[in-house]
Amino acid sequence: MSLSINDFFKCPVSLNRLHNCGFLSSYLNPFVQWMAKQQFADFTIRSHITNVAHFSHSLNRIRPDVEDLNDHIQTFLFKHIPSCKCKGGKQLRQTRRVSNSLNRFKDYLSDCHSIDFIPDNSAYSQIHNEFLYWLSDKQRLEKGTIKLRSSYLKQFLKWYKETSNYNELRLLNPFDVESFFIKATSRWTKAYKRSLQATLRSFFDFCHQRGYIMHNLRFSLPVIKTYRLSEVPKKIDDDQALKLVDSIDRSTISGKRTYAIVQILYTYGVRGCQLRALKLSDIDWHKEQIHFPAVKGGKSCSFPLTVEVGNALLDYLENARKKCGYQQVFLTLKAPFSPLKKSRTLSQIIRSAMLKAGIISPTKGAHCFRHGFVSRMLKQGESFKHIADLVGHKHIATTFIYTKIDFNSLAQVALELPEVKYENC
């Protein structure tokens, strides 16, 4: 027997409103069946159906083609929802949750009806795509770097489209570039500013070469003074790391996953993206080895599978990880179950665990374990060549960032020199 909205809603008033939501009403029951197949929780199914029905009501006067929903979704999220006066609308004003529901509905349409949604159909989408190909073909950048550059460029093109009266990039001027950069980076770190600056410089080089702009505007970007090796790497020390490991509640599904993640990061010092890419086939239980793929142009690396890491992984895989078609070890906790695609998802897991453990650290992302791992190797007297191999650095110079002096630690081992008294000659 096929599921329907009647299996998730019992109130006659609610059912009547859903059955008569208009434009998208015929899609609701198949959407319910798709979500149930993806193992969504009942509460989540009800929430998504309610939000999609609300969106459908807002389209009754327009009745666009289903393929053209993207533009109407943006209008609904940022114009309708904030000032919504619909019946029950007060419960739907959390834009992020509504956006999540509509994204799942788009996933369903793409999966079951072969409807492709193009997120950017602006006048600059062709230039954007050409630039990404140029980064890959001419600049030889890694996929992760290209994806990051793409997100920065989308911010700039969206801002230019919304604030400029021009329809062509060739009319872009230095004042526009400087205004955007100052506004976009006012609250962000130097690392973010450098990444955005690098993206725009490359983009202006590309546009000038292709004739999209008359003058190369790379020099219109404000100068960001940075000094290599100017700061001590932010890390979590051994005491804090062990406190974090001991504080994790392993009786829950979330805790089992967090414990396995922290054990791997602490033991091997791998990058967050390597952990997210880790597959079931990368764990050799017979040879007691674990393999991490190469990223950022570096080298792959293999380690002995320690007892602590092996037990943590076994507990997670047997008692917490959902059975699905993905080969990645670490998956989301809620349906639809999928790999941890974004770095911020992993950072949020680490940050949440640190807050619960009461750990105060300069940084709360996955990378703090990497700095701690290298510092630990240095204290044990390992050579830089060996450390570079362990962390997958292609060039040993990259490892030199960890040689920066921590004056707080240096003060703890400083010798107490006796006071020297002297008389004037």
Closest C-alpha among 251, 265, 398 to residue 343: 265
In a domain, 289, yes or no: yes
What confidence tier does 287 reach under pLDDT thresholds 50, 70, 90?
very high
Q: How many domains does the chain have?
A: 3
Q: Phi and psi of 231, rounded to 5°?
A: -130, 155
* Alpha-carbon distances, residue 225 vs 197, 228, 304 (angstroms): 12, 10, 42
**Exposure string for 219-254, b = 16+ CB within 10 A, e = fewer:** ebbeeeeeeeeeebbebbbeebbeebbebbebeeee
What number is the average pLDDT over the span 53-80?
Answer: 78
Does residue 375 sit in the same domain as residue 264? yes
pLDDT of residue 248: 95
What is the Cα gyration radius of the chain? 27
Does residue 391 sit in the same domain as residue 276? yes
H/E stretch holding 301 reads: strand 301-304
In a domain, 420, yes or no: no
pLDDT reading at 91 higher than 60: no
Does residue 204 sit in the same domain as residue 256? no
Does residue 143 sit in the same domain as residue 29? no
As a dihedral over the C-alpha atoms of residue 218, residue 223, residue 228, residue 234, rounded to 10 degrees, the angle is -110
In a domain, 228, yes or no: no
Average pLDDT along the chain: 82
In a domain, 230, yes or no: no
Report the CATH number at residue 209: 1.10.150.130
In a domain, 423, yes or no: no
Does residue 335 sit in the same domain as residue 388? yes
Does residue 140 sit in the same domain as residue 256? no
- Taken as a whole, the chain contains a residue count of 425
In a domain, 226, yes or no: no
pLDDT of residue 410: 46
In a domain, 227, yes or no: no
Q: What residue numbers bound the domain in which 304 lies?
A: 238-410
Does residue 282 sit in the same domain as residue 376? yes
pLDDT of residue 115: 57
Q: pLDDT tens across 250-281, in order?
A: 999 999 999 999 999 999 988 888 899 999 99
What confidence tier does 185 reach under pLDDT thresholds 50, 70, 90?
confident
pLDDT of residue 364: 66
Does residue 83 sit in the same domain as residue 171? no
- Structure tokens, 58: 């807002």
- Tell me the pTM: 0.67
In a domain, 317, yes or no: yes
Count CB-CB contacts under 10 A for residue 414: 8
What number is the average pLDDT over the span 55-72?
Answer: 75
The per-residue DSSP string of 101-141 comes to HHHHHHHHHHHHH-----S--STTHHHHHHHHHHHHHTS--
Q: Which of 65, 89, 113 is the last residue of a domain?
A: 113
Does residue 187 sit in the same domain as residue 212? yes
Report the CATH number at residue 250: 1.10.443.10
What confidence tier does 227 reach under pLDDT thresholds 50, 70, 90?
low
Is residue 128 within 8 Å of 135, Cβ to Cβ?
no
Does residue 284 sit in the same domain as residue 346? yes
Q: Which residues contact 179 (CB under 8 A, 6 or more apart)?
A: none
Q: pLDDT tens across 3-23, in order?
A: 899 999 999 999 998 999 888
Distance of alpha carbon 360 from alpha carbon 370, whole angstroms: 17
Does residue 388 sit in the same domain as residue 243? yes
Is residue 177 within 8 Å of 217, Cβ to Cβ?
yes
Is residue 283 within 8 Å of 389, Cβ to Cβ?
no
Does residue 77 sit in the same domain as residue 145? no
pLDDT of residue 259: 97
Q: Which of 220, 254, 273 is the last residue of a domain?
A: 220
